[in-house]
């Protein structure tokens, strides 16, 4: 987490990825959960710091390919530098900083101008050093890349007014490929969210549930509002009751005891259900999975990829059943068959 009490989350993606829609939904979810959210959207076209960005996107410096990646990256970096202090203050106040695009967009779009993979990686490292070391711009805790295929992105962009990058279809295809490269090279900084399955774009609710499932574990505790201390009151004299009038606690019937286990893997829950007939299993709103600690790096990545696919299938099933008029509780119970046994749940006995 960012070295403060807040969290810094970025939503990335090419134009036509549904990024703006998901950004708005995540903002509403965070606020509904009780978080104070500071919203940033880059480039900040209404701010003087985006002067060079606006001229660049307007084609005033020539075609995009005629402006080198290192030069054009400075235009965007200066815009973020201007916002850096505001971001730092929001994080210190414990707010959730939610940004629509950040340094990742600079890497992806300007990285399309470099064909050689090694040279492009060198550009990534240079840009990372420029923004986070030299300019001291706050580094996001995580950036989520909404990944769509070029044909789907083109359909979503069909009726949108486009800038110098958006109007170039080949640039769009290259940007998607560079985003994929970033997610592989820097998995701690960039996580991919696949929004297309079997050639079809997932519905908005399903994508949002997948994204929220990744964001939720990164959030700090919801801030609580301190209530004023109650004024001390003088004790009132009360008549002493006899044993008949006020039976002792020992004489009252004991309350039934219940054991509640949280974050239990589905495998353990199944075993408990077999041993205790009254056991009740509850699947959380945002399911997660147990990850073994001693997995080798390659196995860890494959494990996460497989479980993320299953969680995405579960989210799609829940959303689909809910659209058919089935209650959320029933939908989760029916869709739980798609959850891996490593998925965590709560069990009461």
| Mean pLDDT calculated for residue range 167-180 | 89
User: Quick one: pLDDT band at residue 274, thresholds 50, 70, 90?
Assistant: low
| Mean pLDDT calculated for residue range 56-74 | 93
* Tens digits of residue pLDDT in 27-39: 999 999 999 999 9
Average pLDDT, the chain: 84
| Mean pLDDT calculated for residue range 344-348 | 74
| Mean pLDDT calculated for residue range 290-305 | 69
Please count the CA atoms within 13 angstroms of the CA of 314 that sit on its side-chain side. 28
User: Quick one: pLDDT band at residue 275, thresholds 50, 70, 90?
Assistant: low
8 A C-beta contact, residue 201 and residue 222: no
Distance CA 345, CA 282 (A): 6
pTM for the model = 0.66
Q: 227 by DSSP, 3-state: which?
A: coil
**What is residue 198's DSSP assignment?**
T
8 A C-beta contact, residue 29 and residue 204: no
Give the pLDDT score at 247: 47
Q: Can the peptide bond before residue 43 be classed as cis, meaning omega within 30 degrees of 0?
A: yes
Between 198 and 328, the more confident residue is 198
**For the CA atoms of 174, 177, 183, 189, what is the dihedral angle to 10 degrees?**
10
Give the pLDDT score at 24: 98
Percent of the chain residues past pLDDT 90, beyond the cut: 55
List the alpha helices (DSSP H) in 13-160. Answer: 19-32, 51-57, 69-92, 103-111, 117-129, 150-156
List the alpha helices (DSSP H) in 195-340. Answer: 204-215, 266-275, 297-323, 328-335
User: Which domains are seen in the chain, by residue range?
Assistant: 7-218 (3.40.50.300), 258-348 (no CATH)
- What are the residues whose beta carbons fall under 8 Å from the beta carbon of 32, sequence distance 6 or more? none
Distance CA 178, CA 115 (A): 10
8 A C-beta contact, residue 141 and residue 5: no
| Mean pLDDT calculated for residue range 247-275 | 60
**For the CA atoms of 110, 113, 118, 122, what is the dihedral angle to 10 degrees?**
-40
Between 119 and 232, the more confident residue is 119
- What are the residues whose beta carbons fall under 8 Å from the beta carbon of 41, sequence distance 6 or more? 99, 100, 101
Query: What is the pairing mode between strands 7-13 and 96-100?
Result: parallel
């Amino acid at each position: 987490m960012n070295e403060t009490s807040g969290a810094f989350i970025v939503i990335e993606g090419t134009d036509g990825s549904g990024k703006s829609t998901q950004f708005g939904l995540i903002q509403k979810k965070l606020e509904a959960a009780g978080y104070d959210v500071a919203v940033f959207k880059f480039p900040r076209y209404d701010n003087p710091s985006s002067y060079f960005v606006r001229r660049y996107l307007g084609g005033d410096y020539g075609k995009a390919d005629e402006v080198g990646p290192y030069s054009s990256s400075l235009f965007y970096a200066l815009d973020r530098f201007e916002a850096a202090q505001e971001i730092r203050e929001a994080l210190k106040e414990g707010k959730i900083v939610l940004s629509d695009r950040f340094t990742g967009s600079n890497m992806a779009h300007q990285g399309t101008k470099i064909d050689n993979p090694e040279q492009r990686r060198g550009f990534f490292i240079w840009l990372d050093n420029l923004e986070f070391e030299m300019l001291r711009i706050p580094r996001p805790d995580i950036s989520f890349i909404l990944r769509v295929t070029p044909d789907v992105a083109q359909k979503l962009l069909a009726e949108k007014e486009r800038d110098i990058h958006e109007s170039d279809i080949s640039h769009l295809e290259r940007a998607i490929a560079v985003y994929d490269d970033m997610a592989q090279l820097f998995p701690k900084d960039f996580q991919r969210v696949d929004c297309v399955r079997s050639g079809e774009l997932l519905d908005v609710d399903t994508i949002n549930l997948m994204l929220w499932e990744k964001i939720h574990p990164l959030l700090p505790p919801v801030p609580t509002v301190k209530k004023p201390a109650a004024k001390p009151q003088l004790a009132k004299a009360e008549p002493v009751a006899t044993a008949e009038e006020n039976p002792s606690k020992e004489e009252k019937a004991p309350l039934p005891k219940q054991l509640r286990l949280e974050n239990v893997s589905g495998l353990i829950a199944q075993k408990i259900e077999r041993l205790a007939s009254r056991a009740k299993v509850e699947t959380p709103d945002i399911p997660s999975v147990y990850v073994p600690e001693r997995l080798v790096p390659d196995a860890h990545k494959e494990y996460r990829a497989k479980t993320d696919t299953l969680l995405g299938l579960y989210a799609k099933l829940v959303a689909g059943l809910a659209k058919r008029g089935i209650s959320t509780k029933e939908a989760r119970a029916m869709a739980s068959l798609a959850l891996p046994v490593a998925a965590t749940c709560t069990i009461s006995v």
